[in-house]
Amino acid sequence: MDEDSLEPGCNKKKQIQAYCTNADLILVLVSADYMANYKQYSEVTEKIQTGKVIPVPIRPCNWEDLFKGIVSLPNRLLNTRKSIKVDEYFYKEVADGVRNKLQKASKMGYERCQSVDIIKVRANSNIIDASQEREDIPPFETKLMWDEEVFVVEGDSMSPRFTNGARLKGKKIEDLKMITKEWRQNKKVFAINTKREYLLKYIKEIKSDSIVLASENPEHPDFELDGDEVISIYLITEELGWKPV
């Protein structure tokens, strides 16, 4: 983050805190000047033990006391007082290290501990235009991984399994091939993000250009959803208690 990018009139400390909270990674360019003034960057130092902060020493200095146990980039910089040559190889090692870290993060995920917004998911037989959205829903305090969302059920098509107002946690499915026949036979529930809204359904069948959706409530018939309508799909993993912020 470049402090020059901060908007005029904003609260500098709060803006930096927001950047640090939402960042997947925080690279700290470490030098003797930074170490002499690190207390001015408390928003960053508070995140050191979260796994998001990576020190990048660009000048010889004793940075290990502050970044206790944290591996730097490039991680060959074992001697903190040795002369550091910042050249194209240095930048390549840093870039490769960041790339590897992000690739691992995409598989493991970072935990989101702040309050999160709830997504309304329809439990009915028809897609309703998003313009018919009802009242706002307050945020929800829970722990989520990077690929998870919280949903609130509207409707009764999945009743009695999930009733109107139920809060559910869902994990994003990256590939339709992950939705196995076994999952469908075991009646796993999915939140399907369409171009107009989210739907809560069983996935009964996956065709070449569409998916067949089914309900728990027998009063709601199966229907076919065109594949072009589907933006993303979440596997419902947990029903949550109600804890408004």
Identify the three-state secondary structure at position 151: strand
Which residues lie below 8 Å from residue 50, measured CB to CB, with a gap of 6+?
A: none
Question: Domain boundaries in the chain?
Answer: 3-108, 118-240
SS3 36: helix
- The DSSP letter of residue 38 is G
Tell me, yes or no, if the two domains 3-108 and 118-240 fold the same way: no
Give me the CATH topology for the region 118-240.
Umud Fragment, subunit A (2.10.109)
What local confidence, expressed as pLDDT, does residue 88 receive? Answer: 78
Counting as low any pLDDT under 70, the low residues of the chain are 1-7, 75-83, 103-122, 124-142, 174, 242-245
pLDDT value of residue 60:
84
Type of residue at 110: Y
pLDDT value for 193 = 86
Distance CA 222, CA 203 (A): 10
pLDDT digits (tens, 9 = 90+) for 47-59: 777 778 888 888 8
In CATH, what number does 3-108 get?
Answer: 3.40.50
Please give the pLDDT value at position 209: 83
30 SS3 class:
strand
In this prediction, residue 79 carries a pLDDT of: 46
pLDDT digits (tens, 9 = 90+) for 126-182: 433 333 343 445 555 667 777 788 888 988 999 999 998 888 988 888 677 778 888
Q: What is the DSSP string of 134-146?
A: -S----B---EET
Within 50-204, residue ranges assigned H as helices are: 88-108, 181-185
Whole-number pLDDT of residue 101: 77
